[in-house]
Amino acid sequence: MDRAEYEANLRRATLSSSVGSALEYFDFAMYGLMTALVFDRLFFSTENPAMATVAAFGIYGVGFAARPFGGLFFGTIGDRIGRRWVLVATIVLMGGASTLIGVLPTYEQVGILAPILLVVLRLLQGFGAGAEQAGATVLMAEYAPVKRRGFFSALPFVGIQAGTLLASLAFFALTLMPEDAFLSWGWRLPFLASLALILIALWIRSKLRETPSFIQLEKHEQIAEKPLREIFTRGRGGVVVGIGLRMAENGGSYMFQSIALAFVTSAAIGMDRGIVTWGVTFGSLIGIFSVPLTGALSDRLGRVPVYRFGAVFMLIYSFPAWYLLSLGDELVAVAVIAVGIGVAVNSMLGPQCAMLPELFGNRHRYLGVAMARELSAVLAGGLAGVLGAALLAWTGGNWIVLAIYMTTLAAITTASTFLVPETRSRDLLRIEDAVRISTSEEGTATEIELSEGASAQATGAGSERR
């Protein structure tokens, strides 16, 4: 395509990915807020409030459990037929399931059928979301100019912050309603409103062309017939390292957005839910600036140093943050959550947007990114909700165990940054991965190796290709 057409498609790709990210994280942030504060009363028996909270977070985790299967299914299709149409399918599935949550009957109305229906829709929501973010990540990395790939790849993830910000603002507005009205019909409004974002995203994506990298695969007849086999043979190293990189970013995000709110609004501490929700709001507002900023910094300083800064920051921040949350001061809690989301989490998210696609070769990039993102989402994000709620119930709201859990996630990610090569400016037309697991003659994995030429210094003239 000529330059004018390329720039037009770059704008469409950015807008398309941003709207999809906004929809996904509006739905997931809203679901997390509702889970932390009201879903235990709406969809479960209230005879045992602590167990109702654990059950509510269990269904929250079900959505994460479905995501790897969605990533596996749609990622395989994305590497075989292209990125564009998969993104159309995922937005319909994910958004449609979210909209239907808004019309579900409650436990009081239909009993046990209520949580069963919620599980089904949560599974569909997670199945669609399993490839949505991976697709947006790959789409932008493959469209972006090489020397500014970190910045452009991070722009759609401003949609994550916008979606989270919109969810927290909407939830705060709903908390101003009389509680009876909120519990009877007010909670449904945000889920029903997601239909508008679906229609906008569909209209934009219908006008988008396929990415330059995938077009080159078609042109040279290099499309993988069995990308699933490739990812479990050649691509395992990138998936393993990618999971490690995501543990603190993904797990920390959901701990600050949901577990922290459940912790500070519990009977033991008793903060006002409407006030502390502003922590998520301000954190997302900070993220609108910190995500593209750290993405741009990764273009100048490298992906690894910027990513490592965020991981180490969370490592140091975990214990002071949970201690301060335990003090019962609402303004302090708002500040702690805002810094946790806006700085600790998003300092990793910014460089990650380009880094994950750069880890994988062109033939199985979509599937590789999807697997790294979604397996980590189960281990970090989904487990954070279930384990965090269980820890709150079992320890009577002990902040130390939550701090230990977050510190562990941050330590895993910090260690993972020493296993990944510098991928800045890597040529995305390359077939081999930046990280690979070498095997012995017997086929047993023996070590993780850094692929030669993966660093920016080794890409040479090839780094100028898109």
3-state DSSP of 180-193: HHHHHCHHHHHHHH
Tell which residue, 58, 410, 402, has the closest CA to residue 263. Answer: 402
What pLDDT shows up at residue 453?
41
Is the pLDDT assigned to residue 364 strictly greater than 70? Answer: yes
Q: Cβ distance 353 to 295 under 8 Å?
A: yes
How many Å apart are CA 262 and CA 32, to the nearest integer?
10
Distances from the Cα of 143 to the Cαs of 17, 153, 210, 232, 255, in angstroms?
A: 12, 9, 9, 26, 32
- Structure confidence at residue 455 as a pLDDT band (50, 70, 90): very low
- Structure confidence at residue 441 as a pLDDT band (50, 70, 90): very low
Instruction: Tell me the average pLDDT of the chain.
Output: 82
By three-state DSSP, how is residue 445 classified? strand
Phi and psi torsions of 438, nearest 5°: -80, 155
Q: Cβ distance 191 to 30 under 8 Å?
A: yes
Q: Cβ distance 420 to 211 under 8 Å?
A: no
Q: Where are the alpha helices (DSSP H) in 38-112?
A: 39-42, 49-81, 83-101, 107-110
- Structure confidence at residue 82 as a pLDDT band (50, 70, 90): confident
- Structure confidence at residue 222 as a pLDDT band (50, 70, 90): low
How many Å apart are CA 227 and CA 370, to the nearest integer?
12
Is the pLDDT assigned to residue 391 strictly greater than 90? Answer: no
Q: Cβ distance 413 to 249 under 8 Å?
A: yes
What pLDDT shows up at residue 354?
93
- Structure confidence at residue 409 as a pLDDT band (50, 70, 90): very high
How many Å apart are CA 122 and CA 100, to the nearest integer?
10
- Name the token pair of 67: 């995501």
> For residues 2 and 351, which has the higher predicted lDDT (pLDDT)?
351
- Structure confidence at residue 338 as a pLDDT band (50, 70, 90): very high
Is the pLDDT assigned to residue 443 strictly greater than 50? Answer: no
How many Å apart are CA 95 and CA 97, to the nearest integer?
5
Distances from the Cα of 187 to the Cαs of 33, 64, 122, in angstroms?
A: 11, 22, 16
> For residues 140 and 443, which has the higher predicted lDDT (pLDDT)?
140
How many Å apart are CA 169 and CA 238, to the nearest integer?
37
Question: CA-based diameter of the chain, in Å?
Answer: 68
The percent of residues above 90 in pLDDT, for the chain, comes to 24
How many Å apart are CA 223 and CA 243, to the nearest integer?
25
Count how many Cα atoms sit within 13 Å of the Cα of residue 82 in the half-sphere of its side chain. 14
pTM of the model: 0.78
What pLDDT shows up at residue 459?
36
Is the pLDDT assigned to residue 77 strictly greater than 80? Answer: yes
How many Å apart are CA 95 and CA 359, to the nearest integer?
29
Segment 55-67 shows an average pLDDT of: 79
Residues in the chain: 466
How many Å apart are CA 50 and CA 249, to the nearest integer?
27
How many Å apart are CA 284 and CA 131, to the nearest integer?
23
Segment 190-198 shows an average pLDDT of: 81
Tell which residue, 358, 395, 300, 315, has the closest CA to residue 50. Answer: 395
- Structure confidence at residue 281 as a pLDDT band (50, 70, 90): confident
Dihedral, CA of residue 23, residue 26, residue 27 and residue 31, to nearest 10: 170
The domains located in the chain, with CATH, are 3-464 (1.20.1250.20)
By three-state DSSP, how is residue 13 classified? helix
How many Å apart are CA 198 and CA 97, to the nearest integer?
11
What pLDDT shows up at residue 1?
59
| 37-64 b/e (C-beta count within 10 Å ≥ 16 → b) | bbbbbbbbbeeeebbbbbbbbbbbbbbb
Radius of gyration of the chain measured on its C-alpha atoms: 21
How many Å apart are CA 176 and CA 77, to the nearest integer?
45
Segment 387-402 shows an average pLDDT of: 79
- Name the token pair of 298: 């990764």
Sign of CA dihedral 194, 181, 265, 385: negative
> For residues 65 and 330, which has the higher predicted lDDT (pLDDT)?
330
CB under 8 Å to 23, separation ≥6 — which residues?
Answer: 91, 94, 95, 98, 163, 194, 197, 198, 201
How many Å apart are CA 149 and CA 426, to the nearest integer?
10
Distances from the Cα of 17 to the Cαs of 21, 26, 100, in angstroms?
A: 6, 14, 23
What pLDDT shows up at residue 430?
87
